[in-house]
Amino acid sequence: MSARSRSTSTTTPSRRRTPVWAVLALVIGSLLMSASAAAIVGSKLLIDRYTANILQQDLLAGAAKTVPEQPREALEGPITMLLLGVDERSSLPGDMRSDTIIVMHVPATHDQAYLVSVPRDTWVEAPAFEPSGYTGGESKITDVFHAGSRNGAGRSGGAQLVALTLKELTGIEFNGAAIIDFSGFRDVIDALGGVRMCVDQRVMSQHMRLIDGEPTWLAQARDMGGGEELWHEEGCRRMAGWEALDYSRQRYGLPNGDYDRQRHQRQLLKAMVQEASSTGVLTNPAKIDRVITAAGNAFVLDTAGVPIADFVFTLRGITANDLVLVKTNNGEFNSAGFSSTAAERLTPQSVAMLESIATGTLDDFLLANPEMVQQQ
């Protein structure tokens, strides 16, 4: 990565729009990386070392699943986590929205992890939320996060209201939740040494430009004369953190807009786990250390009182091949019918799928509805 692109990634203007889906990869990455490290050294102390400084907050409130105390290190039963990323604009402090919401569901067998995206423009009815003074009402779910974060409730309030809204809509209660930021996600990819991605749709970046052939954030490029368009060309290649993130953030100019972006995001998540479980990482203690440290510094986590190490040991057997990518609304925009907004509704099939997560029957639902499983 060039000196220019490194410097621009840490300036205030470049952080104006945070990639909001990054949380999932870091949660999966940190847990699986910790598990991989533990397998090498055979020590729970190593996990404790890497997780001791993770910021933990209440992100679930009344949507947390009540789990009886379990004396064993591994958890029992299905595990469902709410994974959020936040778009916090530096020019408008406190103006926070969650553009992508992903539900990660691990069945009771603990041998797979299903990744389910909830579209950012889904029209929902949110309950009243006293911490932010929100009286309840209908809106896009991305705006529900904003409503929960107001009046000093912050990111934790936003996450809590999203979790409560999804609980009322689908019945899902969560074992944990996480929020992540952009720079941390980029650092994890770079600590891995990049990831191999296949660009299946040529698309122009809406966030970066080329200045003297070097990728530069749009705000800075404008100050430097505008620069040239940066295109992500079709084909497979190894990508550094900035390139993988930028490609996976694009939705304008793609046939299915945000649904294509969701698909590319899930592809990147799987590529990260694949890279993390490769021989080049697992046999390199220094690289493992860099990856876990980057992941541990990158997110806010809520495990509902369960030790992080218990999650690590429970999920340690899940590999990239065990990640199942699931589509909502058949991967297509489903208009809510409003003339003044791009809001959409979850189809009855998608609602039923989310309800099957609540009842622990997602496996059976997808066997009966295989078209909802993403094939690439």
Q: What is the spatial distance between Cα 114 and Cα 119, in angstroms, rounded to a whole number? A: 16
Q: What is the spatial distance between Cα 197 and Cα 208, in angstroms, rounded to a whole number? A: 19
Per the CB < 8 A criterion, the answer to whether 371 and 347 are in contact is no
| Helix (H) or strand (E) segment spanning residue 350 | helix 348-358
- Give the model confidence (pLDDT) of 323-367 as tens digits: 888 989 988 889 998 866 789 999 999 999 999 999 999 999 999
- Cβ-in-10-Å burial (0-12, 13-18, 19+) of 9 comes to buried
How would DSSP label each residue in 260-302?
HHHHHHHHHHHHHHHHHTSHHHHT-HHHHHHHHHHHHTSEEEE
Instruction: With 0.85 as the threshold, say if the pTM is over it.
Output: no
DSSP H helices, 193-257, are: 218-223, 241-249
Q: What is the spatial distance between Cα 231 and Cα 142, in angstroms, rounded to a whole number? A: 28
Maximum distance among all alpha carbons in the chain? 62
Rg (CA), the chain: 20
Residue 84 is encoded by which pair of tokens? 């959020």
Terminal alpha carbon distance of the chain: 28
The pLDDT confidence band at residue 19, using thresholds 50, 70 and 90, is very low
Q: Which residue has the higher pLDDT, 42 or 280?
A: 280
Write down the number of H helices and E strands in the chain: 14, 14
Q: What is the spatial distance between Cα 30 and Cα 47, in angstroms, rounded to a whole number? A: 10
Phi, psi of 195, rounded to the nearest 5 degrees: -135, 155
Candidates 308, 309, 278, 306; CA nearest to 291 is: 278
Mean residue pLDDT of the chain comes to 80
Please report the pLDDT score of residue 12 as a whole number: 33
- Give the model confidence (pLDDT) of 56-101 as tens digits: 889 999 999 986 665 556 788 899 999 887 755 444 456 677 877 8
At 365, the amino acid letter reads: F
The pLDDT confidence band at residue 40, using thresholds 50, 70 and 90, is very low
Work out the average pLDDT over 297-308: 80
Q: What is the spatial distance between Cα 201 and Cα 232, in angstroms, rounded to a whole number? A: 8
User: Domain locations in the chain?
Assistant: 19-192+282-370
Q: What 8-state DSSP symbol labels residue 66?
A: P
- Cβ-in-10-Å burial (0-12, 13-18, 19+) of 58 comes to middle
Q: What is the spatial distance between Cα 189 and Cα 294, in angstroms, rounded to a whole number? A: 9
Multiple choice CATH, 19-192+282-370, 3.30.70.270, 3.90.226.10, 3.40.630.190, 3.40.50.1970: 3.40.630.190
Work out the average pLDDT over 213-238: 92
CA distances from 311 to 47, 78, 103, 360 (A): 11, 12, 16, 18
| Helix (H) or strand (E) segment spanning residue 190 | helix 182-192
- Find the length of the chain: 376
